[in-house]
Amino acid sequence: MTVDADVRDLYQQVILDHNRNPRNFGPLAGADRTVEGFNPLCGDHYTVYLRFEGDRVAEVRFTGAGCAISKASASVMTDALRGRTRDEAAQLFDLFQKLITGKADPGEHLEELGKLAAFSGVSEFPARVKCAGLAWHTMHAALRPDGETTVSTE
């Protein structure tokens, strides 16, 4: 059976690799912000930990469980965020949302996206957009010192 091209595009090597070996996985002692994110419809849940130095993200880790898309997205996100200011992290959040909903052409943002470009295939799978966005929405809430401590996709 030949594998569907969109499926190949969705499950790129970067995603499979981060799903199998998630980076920055595990709790972070001394986190400034700890936020939980849930998708109540499918049961995926992640906790994102952020530690800041001044305005910059010094450390970011995550725990939790879910599908390959949500876990790989969380993992790649943690790699991408370190060293960014709150504003830069929020901008990256916006760009990633546009990418997975098909509103941004990855070709025009290759440099900013880096490995995040691997998630461009998600836009062909509307049911999976929430999977890819879960950890990001959680992180987005964690950027604000007074933000929520739990986030739900519904």
Partner 1 sequence: MTAVPLTTRAAAAAPLDVGRIRREFPILARTIHDRPLVYLDNAATTQKPQAVIDAIVRYYREENANIHRGVHHLSEAATAAYEESRARIARFAGAAAPEGVVFVRGATEAINLVAHSYLRPRLQKGGRILLSAMEHHSNIVPWQLVAEERGAGVSVIPMNDRGELLLEEYERLLDGPVAMVGLVHVSNALGTVNPVAEMTRMAHARGIPVLVDGAQAVPHMSVDVRTLGCDFYVFSAHKMYGPTGVGALIAPPSLLESMPPYQGGGDMIRSVTFERTTFAGVPARFEAGTPNIAGGIAFGEAVRWLEGIGVENVRAHEEDLLRHASEVLEGVPGLRVIGTAREKAAVMSFVMEEIHPHDIGTILDREGIAVRTGHHCAQPVMQRFGVPATARASFGVYNTREEIDVLARGLRTVREVMG
Strand residue runs (E) in 1-154:
33-38, 45-53, 56-65, 150-152
**Binds partner 1 (CB under 8 A): choice among 26, 43, 102, 147:** 43
Report DSSP state, residue 15. Answer: H
Q: Judged by CB under 8 A, does residue 58 bind partner 1?
A: no
| Phi, psi dihedrals of residue 70, rounded to the nearest 5° | -70, -40
Minimum distance of partner 1 from residue 41's CB (angstroms): 7
**115: exposed, middle or buried (Cβ count in 10 Å: 0-12, 13-18, 19+):** middle
Q: Label the pairing between strands 56-65 and 45-53.
A: antiparallel
Q: Judged by CB under 8 A, does residue 61 bind partner 1?
A: no
Give the whole-angstrom CA distance, residue 119 versus residue 125: 11
Q: Judged by CB under 8 A, does residue 50 bind partner 1?
A: no
**Binds partner 1 (CB under 8 A): choice among 26, 53, 58, 65:** 65
Q: Which of residues 123-142 bind partner 1 (CB under 8 A)?
A: 125, 127-128, 131
Choices 7-15, 25-33, 46-54, 135-143; region in contact with partner 1 by CB under 8 A: 7-15
Q: Judged by CB under 8 A, does residue 11 bind partner 1?
A: yes
**Binds partner 1 (CB under 8 A): choice among 21, 26, 27, 41:** 41
Q: Label the pairing between strands 33-38 and 150-152.
A: parallel
**Binding residues for partner 1, per CB under 8 A?**
1, 3-4, 6-8, 10-11, 16, 20, 41-44, 65-69, 125, 127-128, 131
